[in-house]
Amino acid sequence: MKRAYGALGFLSRALEVVVAVVCSIIAVGVLLVVLEANPENTIVEAVLDAARWLVGPFEDFFTLDDRKLEIAVNWGLAVVVYVLVGRTLANLLRRPGP
């Protein structure tokens, strides 16, 4: 695959890094909820606060009986959307001009 250079190539790569960090925060948040991490812990609280903010629009997308499963599904959907949108935008930035 040919690498994109210049400002748009840098922007494309930066976008991919941001999407990876966002998705990592959400994934760690899911693990902390599913594994019942101590919500009083400062690190757990910070990660969960960041993850909740990032998945805001997806918070109650599906309503399930099991709260852990509901978070895993809704937050997992947010990860999928972030990846799809991020990859699409990054690919558009890499496209050669006219």
Domain regions of the chain by residue span: 6-94
| Model pLDDT for residues 38-95, shown as the tens digit of each residue | 999 999 999 999 999 999 999 889 999 999 999 999 999 999 999 999 999 999 988 8
pTM for the model? 0.87
Whose structure tokens read 């499963």? 69
Our separate counts of H helices and E strands in the chain read 3, 0
Return d(Cα 27, Cα 79) in angstroms, integer. Answer: 8
pLDDT at residue 30 is higher than 60 = yes
